[in-house]
Amino acid sequence: MTTLPFPLADEPGDDAREAARKLFAGEVDFLKGVVGMQHLPPDDRVEVCFAGRSNVGKSSLINALTGRKGLARASNTPGRTQEINFFTLGAERYLVDLPGYGFANAPVAVVGKWQALLKQYLSGRANLRRAFVLIDHRHGVKAVDEEIMTLLDKSAVTFQVVVTKADKVKETERDKILNQIREKLSKHPAAYPEIVVTSSEKGWGLPTLRSIIAGLP
């Protein structure tokens, strides 16, 4: 039997699921939004970040993970939010919401400034344990997604793909798109070898993703 490259992450056991549920049901608060490296909070706790192109469902996923509808705010205008937003998860973790990338309508100067900040953040944050790169299940990996993956490769930051909006895809189409994602990931040395498939609306994959975050040392 051939094992698929980049298999779907296993569902957590009962103990891990419950520990993660308690963590995310506890205190989760917005800390600050930053537009420059000098404003970053101290790197004194485990940190994970969420990256994804505009309208991939990043804010919805963060809100669903934490059970707080208005924690991360989605913008109706791609590229509107240019801050790196920090949230505290309990006393020992940060959740970091990176601005959506791939915004064609944003001014070139704004895009350039954001890209520079992102590169500085990814290469200079010692406590960043993992980046979660969100991929829309309806579209698979696009060129702009590969750009961020390449940046993560160069920054030596381990990243794990989280597939969003799985409920929006016909069951017969899901494997085809997942295989496209797997093929693209095979070219990226920083890619973590498991994929998490989620639906913020249906709750699919959320216990798995919570457990992964809760389990990072």
**pTM over 0.85, yes/no:** yes
Taking only the tens place, the pLDDT of each residue in 14-57 is 999 999 999 999 999 999 999 888 999 999 999 999 999 888 99
Question: Which residue has better confidence, 119 or 96?
Answer: 96
Max distance between CA atoms of the chain, in angstroms, equals 52
> What average pLDDT does the chain have?
90
pLDDT > 90 fraction of the chain, expressed in percent and rounded: 72
The per-residue pLDDT for 103 is: 57
> Can you read off the two tokens belonging to residue 132?
């979660």
CA angle 180, 142, 73 (to 5 degrees): 115
pLDDT band at 1 (very low <50, low <70, confident <90, very high): very low
Question: Which residue has better confidence, 106 or 176?
Answer: 176
Write down how long the chain is.
217
The per-residue pLDDT for 110 is: 73
Torsion on CA atoms 211, 146, 128, 104, rounded to nearest 10: -100
The per-residue pLDDT for 123 is: 86
Taking only the tens place, the pLDDT of each residue in 105-128 is 667 777 777 778 888 898 889 999
Residue 160 has pLDDT above 70, yes or no: yes
DSSP 108-148: HHHHHHHHHHHHHHHHH-TTEEEEEEEEETTT---HHHHHH
- Cα 108 off chain centre by: 24
Please tell me the distance from the alpha carbon of residue 175 to that of residue 182, in angstroms, as a whole number: 10
> Can you read off the two tokens belonging to residue 28?
């989760």
Residue 77 has pLDDT above 80, yes or no: no
Domains of the chain: 14-209 (3.40.50.300)
Residue 133 has pLDDT above 60, yes or no: yes
Q: Would you call 196 helix, strand, or coil by DSSP?
A: strand
Q: What is the mean pLDDT of residues 180-186?
A: 97
pLDDT band at 9 (very low <50, low <70, confident <90, very high): very high
The per-residue pLDDT for 147 is: 87
